[in-house]
């Protein structure tokens, strides 16, 4: 069985609302989208679809501080299972049934919570695949949630949904579910499961944008194609997302943006995209590099034939509405559009070096690596680069030990294939996890044996990363300062030589005695 997903605790506002219910009656609340007024469109703008409101099945608490345990579902009222054009090839395992325990002062956990999900209403519009999350008996699934803490909740995905050939957009069925606990009233909820409109396509990878400086903007024209046999009778919606360090400009009144410096936007269009038709936005989407340390980013967009404004998109654009015009379908055939962005920001590395200092025969520890001078910061997707070490003549690197997750090894760096080659140290590897400091110094101990004195011997250390645009400080030397070995290190050699002389003399004397006696 897969583990349940821990749900975040709700905000204090929700707590205040729940604890203000002074009734002992257990009731179910059904929230209808019809009761929510859609946003008012600006003059000349298309009507916007209402926001989908979750359907909440609730059990009220009697009075603040009573400690009575009550539960509720936090499921959606309507759920789109798959697009009609996907037919029997559709697959969806993402429908979740969250159960939440209402917070109460001094309240106990809900004990032995179980949820029974009846999916028999999906006959003809969806098939049920195998699932190991909940115990199945035909179309009825029993999910064991266990004990849920006061004010907390958990979520399972009880259904593995599969498509059906021959369905039409809007075909639907109902799923019902009931939660019980040993010490709480049962609650029941329903969700209308629908077949969605056509899948809409975007161009996939579009031309990349390079050399965009912080504070500078670029534009993207979104395009779509309906490559199915179904029209988008409810209109279409566009979802745009920019990565961290890029900000969208709130230009269009039929678009809603996530915050005042948004990285996400949602736009609704009344256009009923016809089968086989392609369209393009009649104005560009503008984005700006706002992160002073941003190295790279991306802007992506997707289209939907079921306009439904996502949560958090509350800031309406102030300019004229964005429209759609017919356009060639050339190059449109993927699920989303994507533009990769590279900025002018750099990450300047310079080597960290030391002198190999000691006596002949010593193995010394020399700390080598790099210093990250910025100003850019890598987010984890970029290649963090490496440093390369060529040790001085007359020395041998015996190991570059490292630690990783209570374990370790002898070689943090890749050894050269031939003598005199470079040790290559990729700092993004696990071997550098313990010593890597982004925006600081990343260095590791090289264990180097001094084999002999070589006058003026120097090794090199070189730093490399694709965002370093200051090559003048990328190379440094590793000097060798070798002293003669101490006298005691020669004592064994002298002793071994003397012993050899004695043995040879003894052998010679023995041979002479044998010769004399014969």
Return the pLDDT at 132: 83
Return the pLDDT at 335: 81
Return the pLDDT at 88: 95
**Using CA atoms, how far apart are residues 69 and 385, in angstroms rounded to an integer?**
55
**Using CA atoms, how far apart are residues 264 and 310, in angstroms rounded to an integer?**
10
Contacts of 230 (CB under 8 A, 6+ apart): 84, 85, 168, 169, 197, 198, 275
| The pLDDT of residue 362 is above 60 | yes
Return the pLDDT at 16: 32
What is the residue whose two structure tokens read 């429209």?
Answer: 323
**Using CA atoms, how far apart are residues 288 and 309, in angstroms rounded to an integer?**
24
**Using CA atoms, how far apart are residues 481 and 375, in angstroms rounded to an integer?**
35
Lowest mean pLDDT among 11-20, 295-304, 386-395, 441-450: 11-20
Q: Which of the pair, 430 or 1, is modelled with greater confidence? A: 430
Residue 226 contacts residue 273 (beta carbons within 8 Å)? yes
Return the pLDDT at 20: 32
Q: Taking the CA of residue 358 as centre, how many other CA atoms within 13 Å lie in the half-sphere pointing to its CB?
A: 17
Nearest to 292 by CA among 194, 215, 390, 369: 215
Return the pLDDT at 133: 87
**Using CA atoms, how far apart are residues 72 and 102, in angstroms rounded to an integer?**
7
Give 492's pLDDT tier (boundaries 50, 70, 90): low
**Using CA atoms, how far apart are residues 189 and 169, in angstroms rounded to an integer?**
24
Rounded to an integer, the average pLDDT of 305-321 is: 91
Q: Taking the CA of residue 222 as centre, how many other CA atoms within 13 Å lie in the half-sphere pointing to its CB?
A: 27
| The pLDDT of residue 364 is above 70 | yes
Give 334's pLDDT tier (boundaries 50, 70, 90): confident
Mean pLDDT of the chain: 85
Per cent of the chain over pLDDT 70 is: 81
User: What are the DSSP E strand ranges found in 245-362?
Assistant: 246-248, 255-257, 264-269, 278-281, 285-289, 296-304, 315-316, 324-326, 337-343, 347-352, 356-359
For CA atoms 413, 415, 416, 420, give the dihedral sign: positive
Left if phi > 0, otherwise alpha if psi is -120 to 50, otherwise beta: which for 203? Answer: alpha
pLDDT in tens, 367-389: 999 999 999 998 777 899 999 99
Dihedral in degrees, nearest 10, Cα atoms 37, 39, 40, 46:
-120
Lowest mean pLDDT among 106-115, 237-246, 500-509: 500-509
**Which pairing describes strands 386-390 and 458-464: parallel, antiparallel, or unpaired?**
antiparallel
Return the pLDDT at 36: 31
Give 518's pLDDT tier (boundaries 50, 70, 90): low
pTM above 0.75, yes or no: no
Per cent of the chain over pLDDT 90 is: 72
Return the pLDDT at 490: 56
Residue 303 contacts residue 196 (beta carbons within 8 Å)? no
pLDDT in tens, 10-62: 333 333 333 333 222 222 223 333 333 333 343 334 444 433 444 444 444 33
3-class state of residue 375 by DSSP: strand
**Using CA atoms, how far apart are residues 483 and 450, in angstroms rounded to an integer?**
9
Rounded to an integer, the average pLDDT of 388-397 is: 97
Contacts of 5 (CB under 8 A, 6+ apart): 96, 154, 155, 156
């Amino acid at each position: 069985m897969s583990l349940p997903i821990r749900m975040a605790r709700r905000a204090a506002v929700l707590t205040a609302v729940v604890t203000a219910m002074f009734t002992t009656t257990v009731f179910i609340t059904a929230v209808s989208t019809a009761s929510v007024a859609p946003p008012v469109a600006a003059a000349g703008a298309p009507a916007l679809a209402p926001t989908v409101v979750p359907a909440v099945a609730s059990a009220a608490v009697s009075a603040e501080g009573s400690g009575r345990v009550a539960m509720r579902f936090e499921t959606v009222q309507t759920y789109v299972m798959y697009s009609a054009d996907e037919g029997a090839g559709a697959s969806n395992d993402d429908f979740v049934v969250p159960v939440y325990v209402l917070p109460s002062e001094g309240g106990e956990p809900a004990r032995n919570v179980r949820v029974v999900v009846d999916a028999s209403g999906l006959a003809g519009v969806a098939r049920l695949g195998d699932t190991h999350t909940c115990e199945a008996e035909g179309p009825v699934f029993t999910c064991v949630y266990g004990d849920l803490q006061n004010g907390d909740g958990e979520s399972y995905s009880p259904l593995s949904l599969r498509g059906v050939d021959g369905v039409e957009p809007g075909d639907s069925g109902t799923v019902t579910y009931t939660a019980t606990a040993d010490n709480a009233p049962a609650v029941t909820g329903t969700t209308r499961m629908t077949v969605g409109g056509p899948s809409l396509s975007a161009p996939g990878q579009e031309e990349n944008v390079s050399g965009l400086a912080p504070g500078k903007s670029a534009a993207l024209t979104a395009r779509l194609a309906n490559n199915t046999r179904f029209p988008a009778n409810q209109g279409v919606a566009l979802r745009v997302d920019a990565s961290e360090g890029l900000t969208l400009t709130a230009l269009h009144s039929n678009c809603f943006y996530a915050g005042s410096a948004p990285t996400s936007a949602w736009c609704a269009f009344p256009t009923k995209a016809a089968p086989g038709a392609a369209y393009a936005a009649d104005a560009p989407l503008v984005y700006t590099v706002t992160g002073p340390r941003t190295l790279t980013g991306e802007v992506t967009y997707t289209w939907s034939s079921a306009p439904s404004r996502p949560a958090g998109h509350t800031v309406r654009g102030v300019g004229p509405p964005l429209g759609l015009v017919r356009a060639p379908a050339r190059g449109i055939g993927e699920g989303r559009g994507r533009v990769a962005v590279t900025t002018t920001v750099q990450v300047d590395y310079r080597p960290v070096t030391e002198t190999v200092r000691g006596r002949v025969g010593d193995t010394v520890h020399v700390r080598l690596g790099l210093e990250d001078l910025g100003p850019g910061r890598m987010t984890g997707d970029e290649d963090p680069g490496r440093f390369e070490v060529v040790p001085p003549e007359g020395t041998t690197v015996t190991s570059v030990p490292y630690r990783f997750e209570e374990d370790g090894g002898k070689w943090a760096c890749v050894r050269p294939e031939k003598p005199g080659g470079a040790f290559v140290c990729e700092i993004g590897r696990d071997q550098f996890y313990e010593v890597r400091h982004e925006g600081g110094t990343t260095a590791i101990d090289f264990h180097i044996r001094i084999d002999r004195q070589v006058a003026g011997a120097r090794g090199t250390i070189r730093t490399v990363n694709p965002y370093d645009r200051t090559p003048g400080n990328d190379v440094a030397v590793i000097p060798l300062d070798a002293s003669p070995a101490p006298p005691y290190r020669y004592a064994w050699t002298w002793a071994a030589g003397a012993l050899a002389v004695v043995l040879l003399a003894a052998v010679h004397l023995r041979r002479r005695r044998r010769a004399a006696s014969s």
